[in-house]
Structure 1
Amino acid sequence: MTDAAHPLPELPLPDLPGFSHRWVDAEGIQLHAVEGGNPTGPAVVLLAGFPQTWWAWRKAMPGLADRFRVLAIDLPGQGHSDRPRDSYDTHTVASRVQAAVTALDVPKYWLVAHDIGAWVAFSLALKYEERLHGVALLDAGIPGITLPDSVPTDPERAWKTWHFTFHLVPELPETLLAGRERDYVDWFLNAKAFSPDTFDSAETEHYAAAIAAEGGLRASLAYYRDAAESARKNRDALDRQRLTVPVLGISSSHGSIPDMGASLSPWADQATGVVLPDAGHFIPDEQPDAVVAAVTSFIDHAG
Structure 2
Amino acid sequence: MNEPASAPGVPGNPVRDLPLPDLAGFTHRWVDADGVRLHAVEGGRPEGPAVVLLAGFPQTWWAWREVMPPLAARFHVIALDLPGQGHSERPDISYDTHTVAAHVHAAVEALGVSVYWLVAHDIGAWVAFSLALEQRSRLRGLALLDAGIPGITLPDAVPTDPQQAWKTWHFAFHLVPDLPETLLTGREREYVGWFLKAKTLASDTFDDADIEHYAASVAADGGLRASLAYYRDATESARRNHEALARQRLTVPVLGISSSHGSIPDMAASVRPWADHATGIVVPDAGHFIPDEQPDAVAAALTGFIAEDG
TM-score bracket for this pair, using the shorter chain length: over 0.9
Asked whether the 8 Å contact 1:53–1:78 carries over to 2, the reply is yes
2:228 corresponds to 1:230: no
1:40 Cα deviation (Å)? 1.0
| Partner of residue 93, structure 1 | 100
Q: How many residues align?
A: 301
What is the rounded CA distance, in whole Å, between the counterparts of 2:155 and 2:268 in structure 1?
17
> What aligned pairs does 1:1-303 form with structure 2 within 5 A after superposition?
5-303=12-310
SS at match of 2:23: coil
What is the rounded CA distance, in whole Å, between the counterparts of 1:175 and 1:302 in structure 2?
49
Asked whether the 8 Å contact 1:37–1:69 carries over to 2, the reply is yes
What is the rounded CA distance, in whole Å, between the counterparts of 2:93 and 2:127 in structure 1?
16
Asked whether the 8 Å contact 1:255–1:279 carries over to 2, the reply is yes
In structure 2, runs of 5+ residues without a counterpart are 1-9
What does the per-residue CA deviation read over 1:199-255, in whole Å, with 9 as the maximum and x for residues that have no partner? 000000000000000100000000000000000000000011000000000000000
1:197 Cα deviation (Å)? 1.0
Asked whether the 8 Å contact 1:192–1:281 carries over to 2, the reply is yes
SS at match of 1:67: coil
1:302 Cα deviation (Å)? 3.1
SS at match of 1:16: coil
What is the rounded CA distance, in whole Å, between the counterparts of 2:198 and 2:139 in structure 1?
34
Asked whether the 8 Å contact 1:125–1:243 carries over to 2, the reply is yes
What is the rounded CA distance, in whole Å, between the counterparts of 1:116 and 1:28 in structure 2?
21
1:143 Cα deviation (Å)? 0.5
Asked whether the 8 Å contact 1:4–1:25 carries over to 2, the reply is no
What is the rounded CA distance, in whole Å, between the counterparts of 2:106 and 2:11 in structure 1?
14
In structure 1, runs of 5+ residues without a counterpart are none
The TM-score, its normalising length taken from structure 2, stands at 0.96
What is the rounded CA distance, in whole Å, between the counterparts of 2:212 and 2:44 in structure 1?
27
What is the rounded CA distance, in whole Å, between the counterparts of 2:254 and 2:143 in structure 1?
6
What is the rounded CA distance, in whole Å, between the counterparts of 1:4 and 1:248 in structure 2?
37
Deviates more, 1:211-220 or 1:144-153: 144-153
1:145 Cα deviation (Å)? 1.2
SS at match of 2:246: helix
The TM-score, its normalising length taken from structure 1, stands at 0.98
Structure 1: 4+ residue segments shifted above 6 A = none
SS at match of 2:167: coil
The amino acid that maps onto 1:24 is V
The amino acid that maps onto 2:163 is E
What is the rounded CA distance, in whole Å, between the counterparts of 2:260 and 2:276 in structure 1?
25
SS at match of 1:21: strand
Asked whether the 8 Å contact 1:42–1:69 carries over to 2, the reply is yes
What is the rounded CA distance, in whole Å, between the counterparts of 1:164 and 1:21 in structure 2?
32
What is the rounded CA distance, in whole Å, between the counterparts of 2:91 and 2:229 in structure 1?
10
What is the rounded CA distance, in whole Å, between the counterparts of 2:269 and 2:156 in structure 1?
19
